[in-house]
A and B are shown apart, each in its own frame.
Chain A
Amino acid sequence: EAGVTQFPSHSVIEKGQTVTLRCDPISGHDNLYWYRRVMGKEIKFLLHFVKESKQDESGMPNNRFLAERTGGTYSTLKVQPAELEDSGVYFCASSQIWKPYEQYFGPGTRLTVT
C-alpha cells in the first residue's frame, strides 16, 4: 500500500511569489492534516480535513494560506504571497476515520522563501 506522498519535495521561491503544495493521502483515509516545522522549532498543526470539509483550521497562520481538498481525496496548500517566515518543512498526514490518532506522515515539502 502506498504511503502519503507530497509534491514537490523541495521548493525555492522568492518573497511575494505563490507556491502550491500537494498531498496525496493513503487511499481510504478520510482524515487529512497539514503541519509545518520551522527550522529549530517544533512541528505545528495547521489544519485538519475530514473528507472535503475543514474540521479545524485553528493553526493556519494567516489568510495568505489557503488549503483545499476538493473531492475529499488529495489536498493542496497554497501560500500567496509567500513571506520569508513561511520557510520550513510542510508535512501532510492522514488517518482512518475510526483510528484518528494513528496518523501517517508524508515525507514533507521543504519550502525556502528567499
Chain B
Amino acid sequence: GQNIDQPTEMTATEGAIVQINCTYQTSGFNGLFWYQQHAGEAPTFLSYNVLDGLEEKGRFSSFLSRSKGYSYLLLKELQMKDSASYLCAVSGTGGSYIPTFGRGTSLIVHP
C-alpha cells in the first residue's frame, strides 16, 4: 500500500517563499508528482521527480529524497493566484505512472 502525508493547510504572505512538505511510505516507488488545483477546477501538473535532488521550473521547485521518503514543493515570490490546493502523489513500480494522491495542502496567500 501507499501512505502519503502532507499538511492540511498553510498560509503565507504575498511575495514570500513557502515550502510544502510531503512524506510517503510506499511498497514500490517510481516517482513523485506535484499538482496544483484551484477550487472547482482541474488539477494541473507541476512536476514529476524520479531522481534525488532539486528541479526548478520558474517560481516553483520540487525536491525529492528517495532514501528519506520525502519531497517538498517550493514556491517563490508568492502571488495571490498561487492560493490553491497542492497535491502530492506517488507512482509505484512498473511503467504505468499512475499517481496515488495525498489529500492535498490548501495554501492561502494573503496580502
Contact = CB atoms under 8 A, between A and B. Distances in A.
Contacts of A91: 42-43
A102 B4 CA distance: 20
A101 B48 contact: yes
A100 B97 CA distance: 6
B91 interface: yes
Given A43-B87, A48-B96, A101-B48, A107 B41 contact: yes
Interface in A69-108: 91, 95, 100-108
**Most chain B Cβ neighbours within 10 Å, of A3, A41, A103, A107:** A103
A106 B44 CA distance: 9
B43 A105 contact: yes
B51 interface: no
Interface in A1-48: 3-4, 33, 41-45, 48
Interface residues of A, number: 22
A42 B102 contact: yes
Interface residues of B, number: 22
Contacts of A3: 42
Given A4-B42, A101-B48, A103-B45, A42 B98 contact: no
Interface string A46-68: 00100000011000000000000
B45 A102 contact: yes
B15 to A, nearest CB: 29
A4 B44 CA distance: 12
Describe A's contact surface by its main secondary structure. Answer: strand
A52 B33 CA distance: 26
B101 A42 contact: yes
A3 B100 CA distance: 23
Nearest to B96: A56
6 tightest CB-CB pairs across the interface, nearest first? A105-B42, A100-B97, A101-B48, A43-B101, A101-B97, A42-B101
Given A42-B101, A101-B31, A105-B44, 16 more contacts: A42-B102, A43-B43, A43-B87, A43-B101, A48-B96, A55-B96, A56-B96, A91-B42, A100-B96, A101-B91, A103-B97, A103-B99, A105-B35, A105-B42, A105-B43, A107-B41
